[in-house]
Structure 1
Amino acid sequence: MADIYSAVVDARGRLRDEASRAIVPWWSFTKTLIAACALRLVEDGRLALDAPLADRGYTLRALLQHRAGVGDYGNLPEYHAAVARGGEPWADAEVFTRVPADRLLFAPGTGWAYSNVGYLIVRRLIEETCGAGLGATLHALVLAPLGLQASRLAETRADMRTTVFEGGQDYHPGWAFHGIVVGPVAEAALALHRLLNGDLLAPASRAALLDRHAIGGPVDGRPWLTAGYGLGLMTGAMQRPGMAEPIRVAGHSAGGPGSVGAVYQSIGDGRGRTVAVFAAGSDGGSAEDHALEKLIAA
C-alpha cells in the first residue's frame, strides 16, 4: 500500500521512535473513544448502561455493541449522492426520517447490525447529559486524560484539510454523524494502549468494553478468523499467511473517503503491543494485514 503511516507502542507503553506524527482521520476508531466516554459517564452515575432509553426498547449497552436493531444510512443512494456532490450534512431530523430510530431491524439484543445511526444516538445522549458538544466532552473525559495533545473532534472541512490524505480533505466530517476524531497516527496507538492498560476506566468498565458478542468466522479479503464486537471494540482472532497460529486482537478498523486504518492491540498472548496503521485508498483488509504484521514483529 502506498502512503502508509504507522505507529507502534510496546507492551510497556513506550512509543517506538519511528512512530508517525502525520495527522489522519481516525474514522470509526472514534467509536472506541465514544464508548469510553459513555462508560465514564456510567461510572459517574450520569448514564445507565443497561436501562432502556426513554421511549425506546434498547439500552446504551445495546447501542454501543450494535445490538439495538437500529438501521443505518450506508446503503442509502441518496446519502452517497449528497456526499458526492459536496452538500451540507443532514440535520438530525432528516437522518431519523430516513433511518427511524424506532423502526428496528430486529428486537433489541437478538441480533447484530453495524449502525452509525446507533452511535449518533449515543453522541446526542452524551451531549444532552453533559450540556456540551461532543468535541469538548471527548477532550475533557477521554482525550486529555489519556495524554493526547493534538487529537480533536473534526467539525469542518477545514479540519479535514489538516489531514494528509488528499482523498478526504474536502469531506465534511458532519456526514459521519457520530463524529470523527483527527489526530496523529502515534496518538491513535497511544489512545488504544492507554485505554486498555491504564486507569481511565475502572476494571469493570474495561471488562464491559472487551465483553464481545460473537459475529462470525473468516472474512473474505481480511485476516479475521473469528470476529466479535465489544463496546466500541472489534475483537477476535487474526491470522495472515506465514503465521504459525492466530493472535487475539482488540481495537477498531477505520475507513472513509480517501483512506483506511487499523488500530489494534494483541491481547492474551503476553505481547501487549499496540499498533496504528493508516493508509491511502479503500482496502481495509490490507491495512489490517499491515497492522497484524507489526503486531507480531519481534
Structure 2
Amino acid sequence: MLFSLVSNGTLLTPLRPKTKVPWWSFTKTVLSAAALSLVRDGRIGLDDPLPEGPFTLRQLLRHEAGLADYSELADYHAAVARHDTPWPADEMLQRLDASRLRYAPGEGWRYSNVGYLWVARIIERITDLSLEQALTQRVFVPLDLSNAHLAKTRDDLNGVSMGTAATYDPGWVYHGLLVGPLDQAALCLDRVLSGDFLPAPLLQDMQTARVLGGPIAGRPWTAPGYALGLMHGTVASGLTLSGHTGVGPGSNVAVYRGVHAGRSASCAVFHEGSDEGLVEAEAVNHLAASLGVL
C-alpha cells in the first residue's frame, strides 16, 4: 500500500513518491475543479440550461442528472475482462440507451460515469481545447502540479503501477483516466479546497453534499454524501472528509481532506486489490493521526 500526506499545506515525505498510479474516479474531482473554474470565470453557470441535455452542470457534477451508468452493462465488464479494444463513446451511449433519462433531473441520485463524460465534453466545448490541454490550463498549471497526465492508450500506462491489470486499456474510462504520483493527487485536492483557486461561495457549493444515507458496512462512512465531484461526509472518527475513492481493475485509490481544530490534512492512498473499505480506512487513519483525532 502506498500513501502520501499533506499537512497544513506542507507535503510530508511520501512512501515511494515517484511511483505513478491510476487516479481512477479521483479524476472526477479534477474534472469538477476544471468545470468550476469555468463557472468562476463566468463561462458557464452551475444552473444554466445545457445543449448536451435537459440537465444542469450542478446536476451532472452531483450525479443528479437522471443518467444511467455503463457499469450496468454486462457486455462492458465482459469486454474489459477480454482485453477488447474499447468501444467508441457514441457506441457505448447507444448500447446503454443513454439518452433515456432514468428519472427527472434533480429528483433522484444515481452514480453515473456517463454524467462525467458529459462534463468532460462540456469542458472541451467551452475551452475549445482537448481535455488534457484544458485540465493542464485550468487546474494543473494554476495549482503548480506537473506530473499528472491523461492516459488514453495502453502505452500511456507504461511505468504506471496498475496492480493486477497490467494490460488494461484506459479508453474504457470514458470521462478520462488521470495517472500520476500520489503526492500530486493529495496536493491537488488540498490546493483546490484550501487555497484561493475558487472563491468562497463557489467552494461552499463544491462541498454542499446530497446525503445518501447512514453507515456503509465494511467502510468508514457514518453519513456519506456526494457534492460537486466530491464524496463528502462523516466517518467513524468524527472527521468530515471531502475527496474521492476510485476503483478499477486491479487497484483502488482514496484521496481525502479533513479539517479539525483549525488544522487540515489531505491524504492519498493506493492499494492493489478491490477493497474500497480498506483503502478508505487507511486514508482515515493517516488523517486522524495527522490531525490528532483519537
What range describes the TM-score normalised by the shorter chain of this pair? Answer: over 0.9
- Deviation string for 1:156-190 (max 9, x for gaps)? 11122321234233111110100111000111111
Percent of residue pairs identical: 45
Does the 8 A contact of 2:52 with 2:118 survive in 1? no
Distance 1:24 1:269 in 2: 32
Count of residues in correspondence between the two structures: 289
2:253 is the alignment partner of 1:257: no
> Is the CA contact (8 Å cut-off) linking 1:20 and 1:185 kept in structure 2?
no
- Residue equivalent to 2:116: 119
**Structure 2 counterpart of 1:147, from 144, 147, 150:** 144
Moved over 6 A (4+): none
Deviates further, 198-207 or 249-258 = 198-207
* Counterpart Cα distance in 2 of 1:100 and 1:195: 35
8 Å CA contact 1:8, 1:19 repeated in 2:
no
Confirm whether residue 207 of structure 1 aligns to residue 199 of structure 2.
no
Amino acid at match of 1:131: D
Matches within 5 A, 1:101-116: 101-116=98-113
1:90 to 67, 82, 87: 87
Is the partner of 2:228 in helix, strand or coil? coil
Q: What is the SS of the residue equivalent to 2:270?
A: strand
Tell me: CA distance 1:201–1:69, structure 2 relative to 1, closer, same or farther (3 Å): same
Q: Confirm or deny that 1:174 pairs with 2:166.
A: no
1:104-157 deviations in Å (ceiling 9; x for gaps) = 111111111000001001111111222221111101110121111111111111
Which residue does the alignment assign to 1:242? none
| Aligned-partner residue type, residue 199 of structure 1 | D
1:70 aligns with 2:67: yes
TM-score by length of 1: 0.93
* Structure 1 residues 103 and 269: alpha-carbon distance in aligned structure 2, compared to 1, 3 A threshold: farther
Contact between 2:23 and 2:180, CA under 8 Å: does it hold in 1? yes
| CA distance 1:269–1:71, shift in 2 (3 Å) | farther
Q: Which blocks of at least 5 consecutive residues in structure 2 are unaligned? A: none
How far 1:56 sits from its partner (Å)? 2.5
Aligned to 1:291: 283
Task: Judge which range, 31-40 or 267-276, deviates more.
Answer: 267-276
Q: How well do the aligned residues superpose, as a CA RMSD in angstroms?
A: 1.4
* Alpha-carbon distance in structure 2 between the residues aligned to 1:164 and 1:123: 25
Q: Summarize the alignment of residues 40-51 of structure 1 with structure 2, pairs less than 5 Å apart.
A: 40-51=37-48
1:146 counterpart letter in structure 2: L
Output the CA distance in 1 between the equivalents of 2:42 and 2:275. 41
Does 87-96 or 106-115 show the bigger shift? 87-96
Of the candidates 3, 7, 13, which is equivalent to residue 6 of structure 1?
3
Letter in 1 for 2:71: G
User: Where in structure 2 are the equivalents of 1:150-169 lying within 5 Å?
Assistant: 150-169=147-166
Residue in structure 2 matched with residue 16 of structure 1 by the alignment: 12
The answer as to whether partners of 1:19 and 1:185 remain within 8 angstroms in 2 is no
Question: Which one-letter code corresponds to 2:11 in the other structure?
Answer: L
Question: What is the TM-score normalised by the length of structure 2?
Answer: 0.94
Distance 1:124 1:108 in 2: 19
Shift of 1:55: 6.6
Q: Distance in 2 between matches of 1:75 and 1:92?
A: 15
Q: CA contact under 8 A between 1:19 and 1:186: conserved in structure 2?
A: no
Q: Are 1:227 and 1:237, in contact at CA under 8 Å, matched by a contact in 2? A: yes
**TM-aligned CA deviation for residue 269 of structure 1:** 4.4
Instruction: Name the SS of the counterpart of 2:72 in structure 1.
Output: coil
